[in-house]
Structure 1
Amino acid sequence: MYVPPAFRDDDLDNIRANVRSARLANLVTATADGPLATPLPLFLEETEGERGVLYGHVARANPQWHSPPIGEALAIFMGPDAYVTPSWYATKQENGKVVPTWNYIAVHAYGPVEFFHDPERLLEVVTRLTNIQEKPRAKPWTVDEAPADFVAAQLRGIVGVRIPVTTFKGKRKMSQNRPEADRTRVAAGLTASEDPRDREVGLLISVEGGGRSSN
């Protein structure tokens, strides 16, 4: 991922928050058969290792876990994103030298991937993932509500994923490279959108500070 200085996010707390808020990740591995990728939920166990350990699972029928990875795995987490029209830029009225762009937050996590089959470890991962997603509900569903033999059978159909994170790359592209007048108008345009995803991005744009950089 190309990260210009203006968009670089090295704050570990920010990175962890973006990982937690991402609804779905993409697990990418390079193999002798070419690159393989699987969309899946992952959670970060922050108490393990220096940067934490990612956990999840894939289907047993998924060929990704059968193919030995070449080098480290890559987990991609995407945060809020929105299209930015050049019509919002004050610069457009000044010289017309503007183009469309996209604002977004992304985190790339790198590390060696381990695939495991132990039922107890799998149950722990499935339970953690379920509890994370069910927590906001008024009446959270828990794994132990399902029959134990049924859960055991389901666990035989998956393979666990463990990635000790060696490197995080964080990118927060929120119009920091534009003049203050442009940032103000972009934030106003996005927060006025009917699309809640646009409004979320609009609220993340700072109209103070900033500076110019390439995209």
Structure 2
Amino acid sequence: MTTTDTTGHDRILAICRSNWEYRGIDDASLREMLQELEAHLQDAEAAGRTARDVVGEDVPAFAAAWARNRAPLHRRALRLAAMACWAVGFLLLLRHLIRWTTELTVDAGDLAFWGLVATVTVAWELKRGSLGLGRSWLLASVVGVPAALAVRFLAGDGVLFTLPLWAAPILLLPMLPYVVADTRAKKAQSAAR
């Protein structure tokens, strides 16, 4: 294998990884897809074909098509919904802990803040490919705080409803199967090496 081919393979794999992470492909499937693509690229090279013979001229279009076949929209939408619930649940739990209370009052500014923070966090983390406590929380807060203040100024700070402490853990639950599956896949991957 020449250096140029390896660099080309690495670039194709990097483009596909980025595309699949952006589309919310789970970690286990992403690793499996990358291994399969790498094997196809090596087989093509051994047969005297180029990497472009495998993926075509438009690598992002190839990656997008494979992602749609591998993880249909309804599966990706469910994962996205679970991520959004997790972000909101985490913020609620954090707010309960900061205020040291079992009931939170919610006004229009709170809804604007939570909605924007959840949206920015999920969008940022989908682009990265995982949900974590990275820079997305800072970015989301920078966007969410001014929006919450503006909404609170325009709509007032009247209480819309109250949320009990048990609501936050319930919102965290939908993400649990994805976390367990990703953790098991990582352990299986480590054991296979």
Shorter-chain TM band: under 0.3
Task: Name whichever structure is richer in helix by fraction.
Answer: 2
Q: With structure 2 as the length reference, what TM-score do the two structures score?
A: 0.24
Q: With structure 1 as the length reference, what TM-score do the two structures score?
A: 0.23
Task: Name whichever structure is richer in strand by fraction.
Answer: 1
